[in-house]
Amino acid sequence: MERTFIAIKPDGVQRGLISEIISRFERKGFKLVAIKLVVPSKSFAQKHYHDLKERPFFNGLCNFLSFGPVLAMVWEGEGVIRYGRKLIGATDPSKSEPGTIRGDLAVVVGRNIIHGSDGPETAKDEINLWFKPDELT
């Protein structure tokens, strides 16, 4: 069954949005198969966002993620990668649709509260980066 990596970023954790975000995935019918709070090192954050290393905001983004804690999760279900991104909404919360997590709960791109894998390959890589096989149910 299809799986994706979802993380509530430090701003989402600090703002007390964990239960709000988890309940949106649960209510849709997706299944939570792994979950843990992590304070990633900066080099771990750089690995997670390696695709963005040429972007001007890369350093700030990795610093921010490494402040932690981050709630790392794996969710399972039919179409969960694509649909999870729909639940999350557009990268820039000022352009995310109302009804999406970022659209309803965030305002600026640098503090957009949640991450979701953007395709099958990144989902596989990110799940393997954040979780050991025995942490997955």
**Binding string, residues 18-57; x marks residues near ligand ATP by CB under 6 A:** ----------------------------------x----x
Contact 120, 1 (CB under 8 A): no
- In angstroms, give the least distance from the CB of 118 to Mg ion: 5
- Near Mg ion by CB under 5 A, which window of 9-17, 40-48, 94-102, 113-121? 113-121
Burial (CB count <10 Å: 0-12, 13-18, 19+), residue 87: buried
Question: Around Cβ 60, how many Cβ atoms within 10 Å?
Answer: 11
Q: 115 an active-site residue?
A: yes
Determine the 3-state secondary structure of 107 from DSSP: coil
- For ligand ATP, the binding residues in 73-112 under the rule CB under 6 A are 91, 109-110, 112
CB-side neighbour CA atoms (13 Å) of 88: 24
Asked whether position 63 contacts ligand ATP by CB under 6 A, the answer is: no
User: Per the structure block, which two tokens stand in for 96?
Assistant: 């995310």
One of 8, 17, 61, 70 touching ligand ATP (CB under 6 A):
61
Single-letter residue type at 35: I
The residue count for binding ligand ATP (CB under 6 A) is 10
Binding site for Mg ion (CB under 5 A): 118
Name the residues annotated as catalytic: 115
